[in-house]
Amino acid sequence: MSRKPIIAGNWKMNKTAKEAREFIGAVANAIPSNDLVDTVIGSPAIFLEGMKKGVKDTDLKVAAQNCYFEDFGAFTGENSPATIAALGVDYVIIGHSERRDYFGETDEDINKKAHAIFKNGMTPIICCGESLETYEAGKAEEFVGAQVSAALKGLSAEQVASSVLAYEPIWAIGTGKSATQDDAQKMCKAVRDVVAADFGQDVADKVRVQYGGSVKPDNIADYMACPDVDGALVGGASLEVDSFLALLDFVN
């Protein structure tokens, strides 16, 4: 089963609107065709509108890094999935470990967000991943499997098949200590196996699973060579024009 690779940059809380404009101006025409790869930038919500204008007529897609699960109402400071969708945003990253750890997001919140994102016609990039303690205790598969099952609860088979799941071991995020190729393959396969158990093999064969955690131009090809790794979610190495473009070299 061939799945189209998806490489997503996650800028986190970095860049001003001007820096974002300059970045998009520099990369927009160098992005490989989206017949070959889906290329996405996850930008801060405050300049999603400018991002969408910047990528118009290019093969670059835009993601929000989070959203709320209600469309409108008295939720001061939150960003509505309906409002984000109205800007033409394609993807929303949800369940990032920084959101879970620093902002107390639960599996239940993430599941509600997944439903809200689909309701608004966008695609979720759903993150999962274990702590170092869980990894060292040999419980990574069990822990991550439970996160994935909880996040996908109640979605249709069609919605799950079109989702993107990002396996990101917390101990590898921003640390320079990336997972081995074998670990990345084993865990991305474990994520796919959970989808197979919950929604059937056909759905599992279609869902795209990314690896994330210290992915760089010099290691991305190793991950992309794994049969169950369909792409990468990249923080630090997505911030500079040269390294972002170099992440896409594996396509050629």
CB of 232 to ligand PGA, least distance (A): 8
- Which residues bind to ligand PGA, rule: CB under 6 A? 10, 168, 173-174, 212-215, 233-237
The CA-based angle 108-201-106, given to 5 degrees, is: 10
CB of 145 to ligand PGA, least distance (A): 20
Q: Which is nearer to ligand PGA, 99 or 189 (CB)?
A: 99
What is the rounded distance in angstroms from the CA atom of residue 11 to the CA atom of residue 25? 16
Q: Which is nearer to ligand PGA, 116 or 170 (CB)?
A: 170
Query: 162: annotated binding-site residue?
Result: no
Annotation says 96 is catalytic: yes
Annotation says 105 is catalytic: no
Do the strands 38-43 and 6-10 form a parallel or antiparallel pair, or are they unpaired? parallel
Q: Which is nearer to ligand PGA, 152 or 232 (CB)?
A: 232
Query: 236: annotated binding-site residue?
Result: yes
Query: 73: annotated binding-site residue?
Result: no
Reference 237, options 169, 171, 173; nearest CA is: 173
Query: 174: annotated binding-site residue?
Result: yes
Q: Which is nearer to ligand PGA, 63 or 117 (CB)?
A: 63
CB of 197 to ligand PGA, least distance (A): 26
Catalytic choice (96, 98, 105, 130): 96
CB of 41 to ligand PGA, least distance (A): 12
Instruction: Point out the residue whose Cβ comes nearest to ligand PGA.
Output: 235
Query: 171: annotated binding-site residue?
Result: no
CB 193 within 8 Å of CB 204: yes
Residues of each annotated binding site for substrate: 10-12, 174, 214, 235-236
Q: Binding site: which residues? A: 10-12, 174, 214, 235-236
Give the residue numbers marked as catalytic. Answer: 96, 168
